[in-house]
Amino acid sequence: MWIEAPKIAYIYSVNGEKYTGDQISVAEVDSASKEDAVRKIAPYPVGKEVEVFYNPKDPKDAVLEKESGDMAFVLLGVLGVGLLIVGVVIWFYPM
């Protein structure tokens, strides 16, 4: 199975200093299809001015979307449940 990773690049400036970024959101999840990847970058055509959200403590850390999307929460939830199960197993069945 192929995983499609949307590619994007943008230039922004903070206090007169220029930076480049390539992150769309904080918790990016690669797409299962080319159509999903294309849909993810569709709002950002070449040449369009966009709002960039950056970390004031480290302006090199930037994204185009502050919201991470539903899929990130699902993945974090699955990871959390998996770690909980491992913890319970280790608690009741120590090696």
Going from N- to C-terminal start, the domains of the chain cover: 10-67
Residue-wise pLDDT tens digits, 23-64: 888 766 666 677 877 888 899 999 999 999 999 999 999 999
Lookup: tokens for 87: 């913890």
Instruction: Please give the model's pTM, rounded to 2 decimal places.
Output: 0.62
CA-to-CA separations, 90 to 74, 85, 87, in angstroms, rounded: 24, 9, 5
Residue 19 pairs in a beta bridge with: 12
Distance, in Å, from the CA atom of 84 to the CA atom of 89, rounded to the nearest integer, reads 9
